[in-house]
């Protein structure tokens, strides 16, 4: 019987502590803990890694504190285009949706696509219709909009006009959520979901729905979910790169993830982070930004969450 393991993230490049009130930081950590408990309940009762990562991500998609699902970022036109993917390390089956506007939980649509195996990635209206035919929860696009994201969009447009986009705070820019897991059967899985970044071009697709870039899982090696500037994750094929370094160079999970995050991406000036789990249950959560919403569960069931350097144990 394999050890079980679970790790999640709620986006890297975490904003300066002054950008949010303490009650908001506490609320965000509470949701991270809820996400961990949801996935851990599945794993600790003998459930699958695939079920665990899907369930953990759904909790984060339903929270306005993170940029996925409810509370997702807005495009330059003030609309939402959501992305998600999920991958089964046992079979390498995967599913992803991109540019969707009406699926309450995009990760659920990605999971249905994985199960049907007719396609790996669906986009836009076709993906919305696919989810509706599958009986998933369909909402009006306005469901995803929050006052915080409207303010962030206005701030990004002001930066654009002033030529100061590079100085925008992380609260004004982007974020992503994701989960990785190892179950009792030794199977790995990963899932990622995002709204992209505030004021993004219409039709822009990041790394989150791209298998091998923002999401990757392969039994016997690792599962990875990334967060950061998606264009760099695509160029570096980050999820697959981590797995390849482990498989071909014999690197540990820590060494492989640190190399990619702290060297490959950092030297490009790309803010990035990820969570990963190895086939032995080891967990890595490196980031090269001021912080990253993250959490994990120890083999004994202890829950830990963090946003900046400090990590909190929660009940």
Q: pLDDT at residue 168 above 90?
A: no
Average model confidence (pLDDT) for the chain? 93
**Percentage, residues of the chain above pLDDT 90:** 79
Mean pLDDT of 142-169: 80
Mean pLDDT of 305-313: 92
> What's the pLDDT score for residue 14?
57
Mean pLDDT of 95-117: 97
Q: Considering the entire predicted model, what is its pTM? A: 0.95
Expressed in angstroms, the distance from the first to the final Cα of the chain is 26
Mean pLDDT of 234-242: 98
Label residue 165 by pLDDT band (50, 70, 90).
Answer: low
Mean pLDDT of 130-145: 97
> What's the pLDDT score for residue 156?
81
Q: pLDDT at residue 231 above 90?
A: yes
**Percentage, residues of the chain above pLDDT 70:** 94
> What's the pLDDT score for residue 18?
47
Cβ atoms of 198 and 74 within 8 Å: the answer is yes
Mean pLDDT of 22-28: 83
Which residues are catalytic, by number?
176
Domains of the chain: 5-314 (3.60.20.30)
Instruction: List, in sequence order, the alpha helices (H) in 45-120.
Output: 49-61, 106-116
Between the CA atoms of 87, 56, 274 and 79, what dihedral angle is there, to the nearest 10 degrees? Answer: 90
Q: Which of 16-20, 32-36, 186-190 has the lowest mean pLDDT?
A: 16-20
> What's the pLDDT score for residue 15?
54
Cα separation, 212 vs 210, whole angstroms: 6
> What's the pLDDT score for residue 169?
53
Q: pLDDT at residue 16 above 60?
A: no
Q: How far is CA 311 from CA 250, 296, 305, in A?
A: 29, 10, 6
Q: pLDDT at residue 172 above 60?
A: no
Mean pLDDT of 189-206: 95
Cα separation, 137 vs 257, whole angstroms: 35
Of 201, 199, 265, nearest to 227 (Cα)? 265
SS3 content of the chain, % helix, strand, coil (to 5): 40, 25, 35
Label residue 128 by pLDDT band (50, 70, 90).
Answer: very high
> What's the pLDDT score for residue 47?
98
């Amino acid at each position: 019987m394999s050890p079980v393991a679970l790790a999640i993230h709620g986006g890297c490049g975490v904003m300066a502590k002054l950008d949010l009130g303490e009650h908001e930081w506490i609320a965000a950590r509470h949701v991270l803990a809820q996400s961990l408990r949801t996935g851990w309940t599945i794993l600790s009762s003998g459930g699958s890694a695939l079920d665990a990562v899907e369930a953990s991500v759904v909790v984060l998609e339903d929270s306005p504190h993170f940029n996925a699902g409810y509370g997702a970022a807005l495009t330059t036109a003030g609309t939402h285009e959501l992305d998600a993917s999920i991958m089964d390390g046992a079979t390498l089956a995967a599913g992803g949706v991109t540019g969707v506007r009406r699926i309450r939980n995009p990760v659920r649509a990605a999971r249905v696509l994985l199960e049907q195996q007719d396609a790996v990635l669906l986009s836009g209206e076709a993906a919305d219709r696919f989810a509706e035919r599958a009986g998933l929860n369909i909402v009006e696009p306005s469901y995803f909009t929050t006052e915080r994201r409207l303010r962030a969009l206005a701030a990004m447009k002001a930066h654009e006009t002033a030529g100061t986009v590079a100085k925008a705070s992380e609260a004004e820019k982007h974020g992503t959520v994701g989960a990785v897991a190892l179950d009792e059967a030794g199977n790995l899985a990963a899932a990622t979901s995002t709204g992209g970044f505030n004021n993004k071009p219409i039709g822009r697709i990041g790394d989150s729905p791209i298998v091998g870039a923002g999401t990757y899982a392969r039994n016997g090696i690792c599962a990875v979910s990334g967060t950061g500037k998606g264009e760099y994750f695509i160029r570096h094929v980050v999820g697959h790169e981590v797995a390849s370094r482990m498989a071909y160079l014999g690197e540990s999970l820590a060494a492989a993830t640190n190399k990619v995050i702290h060297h490959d991406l950092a030297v490009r000036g790309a803010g990035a982070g990820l969570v990963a789990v190895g086939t032995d249950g080891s967990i890595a959560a490196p980031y090269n930004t001021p912080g990253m919403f993250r959490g994990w569960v120890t083999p004994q069931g202890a829950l830990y969450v963090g946003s900046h350097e400090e990590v909190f144990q929660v009940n």
